[in-house]
Amino acid sequence: MLSQNVENILVAQIEKEAYSSSLYLSMASWAEVNGFEGTAQWFYAQAEEEHQHMLKFLAFVNERGGKAIIPALNQPPVDYKDIRDIFTQVFEHEKYISQSINNIVGVCMEEKDFSTNNWIQWFVNEQIEEEKSVRGIIDKLNLIGAHSLYLFDKDIMSMRATAAK
Ligand code: FEO
């Protein structure tokens, strides 16, 4: 049986996972209409994963004698500046979710709820993976940025050489 504090924080997490799914769907849709097919696919898959996370919380709360609540969601942003802006926002969001999962661990410890603490460890590890994956994408984007600058630099050098002839 869950204590009220543990139940409350797990129910709050249902909302956060549902919002994550909705946020990533919005990003998928933005990427799709802006011609970034690969990025759109990445976000559609990510949205589905977040939906599964939400279901895991929902099932766990109900199995452990609590009552899952299906939340009303805020509308996620519709427009984004560019791909880098999107992934920067994803990284910030995932860090926020990691903090939120850590807070659940904290409440489990306070309440001496070792079974929920054991169960939530899957999410602790999942967050490490998610942050790592998004950080990897941002690193790639930064490399592309540097590469473009490198090409620009070569380009302007050859323009100078041509002009000198
Ligand atoms: Fe379900 Fe990306 O955290």
Flag whether the pTM goes above 0.85. Answer: yes
pLDDT band at 162 (very low <50, low <70, confident <90, very high): low
Q: Tell me, in angstroms, the distance from the centre of ligand 1 to residue 39's CA.
A: 17
State yes or no: pLDDT of 165 exceeds 60.
no
Nearest-atom index, ligand 1, CA of 17: 1
Is the separation of the CB atoms in 76 and 23 below 8 Å?
A: yes
If you take atom 1 of ligand 1, which residue's CA is the nearest one?
50
Is the separation of the CB atoms in 90 and 134 below 8 Å?
A: yes
Q: Tell me, in angstroms, the distance from the centre of ligand 1 to residue 155's CA.
A: 42
Distances (CA, A) of 16 to 13, 42, 65, 119: 5, 20, 21, 18
Here the tokens at position 34 are: 């802006």
The CA-to-CA distance between both ends of the chain, in Å, stands at 83
Q: Give the C-alpha separation, 136 to 131, whole Å.
A: 9
Q: Tell me, in angstroms, the distance from the centre of ligand 1 to residue 27's CA.
A: 15
- Please tell me the CATH code under which domain 4-164 is placed: 1.20.1260.10
Residue % of the chain over a pLDDT of 90:
80
pLDDT at position 156: 72
Q: What is the mean pLDDT of residues 126-144?
A: 92
Q: What is the mean pLDDT of residues 75-98?
A: 96
Q: Tell me, in angstroms, the distance from the centre of ligand 1 to residue 2's CA.
A: 23
